Amino acid sequence: MRRRVVVTGMGVVTPVGHDVSAFWDSLLVGRSGVSFIRDFPTDKLRSDIAASIVDFDVSRYMSPKEAEIHGRVTHFSVAAAAEAVTMAGLDTLGRADPHRIGCLISTGMGSVDIFQHQIERSRERGPRAVSPYFVPGVMPNAGAAVVSIRYGFMGPSYNIASACATGTHSIATSAMMIEAGEADVMVAGGAEAATRLDTVAGFGNARALAKAFEGDPTRASRPFDKRRQGFVMGEGAGVVVLEEEEHALRRGAKPLAVLQGFGMTTDAAHLTRPHPEADGLRRAIVRAIERAGLKANDVDYINPHATSTPQGDAAEIIALRNVFGQRLAHIPMSATKSMIGHLLGGAGAVETIAVVCSLRDQMLHPSINADELDPDFGPLDVVREKRSVTCSWALKCSAGFGGHNCALLLGRM
């Protein structure tokens, strides 16, 4: 009999809230975190907007020395993990065996700020000026390592990188470890802090980014809208505590949702473009539903990847329609990226937490800026205002550069 995996803790740092409560409240009222970039000059960039995190107080989580060693992405990882671990009651291990608790907090790009700063030092002052903490500061597994050290978690711990599917892959892989008996608890999620000049320039020169829509940054992220231009870069982190259900109940933890199924596939077609027929994403969704022991008709809600790029949104709708057929028009969908932008490696994890909140509260958050849906997509039920629902099963989709696809199927407790 397969071990059942439940969610017992959640934590976030996002452009619209630095904890789950503030994040969820912002989503429900449709508050955008997108604004003009103020941290570096943007006059030569193709895009001058981002969903950045402001007023984040790293001193709540690290000493000044530790904060200096680590990059912003690790700061966010540790903060989100602190909230999730506390919510799950794992901050004091109590009846949990630390050898059976793992940590898979991943990032797609690592500590871009540390890397950029130390390269500049080397060029200006020579290689002896490079910090001895450069390597531990930039390594992508730093978040998982720091969290493991902090709480004494000694189960499986590492980093997965699959571009914009990183956070979702970390959650799916963690669930697989618990099912396989490799761990009883996994602290899993994703983080990114790449809204730096060079990365914004790179994505901009690839013509992947949106500009302020009609001069208003908050209107730029427009998933499924006819006038979508591209995605808005965001930053932040999302971490969940996944746990074998009986283990959670024995130690008195409260399950928030069940992670019933997951699917992971690859397009094997193009490095940056989605497959035009989106068969890889379709197969990931079908696998998640089948692994959950459900049928497509059982899915009540979809939180799509929804990048707001012309090609990405089109491919995702093809995949969804090939799974759900005409019923897709009647399944509510809400795109979290419409408010927080695209958190890259952190996106799937943060959006999964939005799904858990929806299942917990039986409430769907709106997609903002979906003013006029692309008529090529056919009829869709994109949620425009927060909506009360009866929702038992919800689908979360992610897709990343490299053709990596991941889908999660979560259920109400």
Q: How confident is the model at residue 2 (pLDDT cuts 50, 70, 90)?
A: confident
Interaxial angle between packed helices 20-29 and 347-361, expressed in degrees from 0 to 180 and rounded to the nearest 10: 80
pLDDT of residue 153: 96
Q: How confident is the model at residue 283 (pLDDT cuts 50, 70, 90)?
A: very high
In this predicted structure, the answer to whether residue 25 has a pLDDT above a threshold of 80 is: yes
pLDDT of residue 320: 98
Following DSSP, what letter does each residue of 215-257 receive, concatenated? Answer: TBGGG---TTBTT---B-BB-EEEEEEEEEHHHHHHTT----E
CA distance 151 to 186: 12
Mean pLDDT within 275-293 = 96
* Residue 195 · residue 45 · CB < 8 Å: no
* Residue 188 · residue 240 · CB < 8 Å: yes
pLDDT tens digits for 295-319?
A: 999 999 999 999 999 999 999 999 9
3-state secondary structure of 403: coil
pLDDT of residue 335: 98
367: left (phi over 0), alpha (psi -120 to 50) or beta: beta
In this predicted structure, the answer to whether residue 20 has a pLDDT above a threshold of 80 is: yes
Element at 161 (helix H, strand E)? none
Record the tokens describing residue 109, joined without a space. 């790009």
Q: How confident is the model at residue 406 (pLDDT cuts 50, 70, 90)?
A: very high
List residues with catalytic annotation. Answer: 164, 305, 342
CA distance 61 to 401: 32
pLDDT of residue 396: 98
pLDDT of residue 339: 98
pLDDT of residue 1: 77
pLDDT tens digits for 192-235?
A: 999 999 999 999 999 999 999 999 999 999 999 999 999 999 99
b/e for 109-141, b at 16 or more Cβ within 10 A? Answer: bbbbbbbbbbeebeeeeeeeeeeeebebbbbbb
In this predicted structure, the answer to whether residue 165 has a pLDDT above a threshold of 70 is: yes
In this predicted structure, the answer to whether residue 325 has a pLDDT above a threshold of 90 is: yes
Following DSSP, what letter does each residue of 31-76 receive, concatenated? Answer: ----EE--SS--TTSS--EEB---S--GGGTS-HHHHHHS-HHHHH
In this predicted structure, the answer to whether residue 410 has a pLDDT above a threshold of 80 is: yes
The dihedral built from the CA positions of residue 406, 185, 12 and 193, taken in this order, carries a sign that is negative
Mean pLDDT within 72-94 = 93
Q: How confident is the model at residue 92 (pLDDT cuts 50, 70, 90)?
A: confident
Q: Residue 124: how many CA atoms within 13 Å on its side-chain side?
A: 7
pLDDT of residue 93: 64
* Residue 74 · residue 230 · CB < 8 Å: no
* Residue 26 · residue 17 · CB < 8 Å: yes
CA 249 to each of CA 5, 222, 246, 330: distance values in angstroms, whole numbers, following the listed order = 12, 41, 5, 36
pLDDT tens digits for 391-403?
A: 999 999 999 999 9
Mean pLDDT within 259-268 = 97
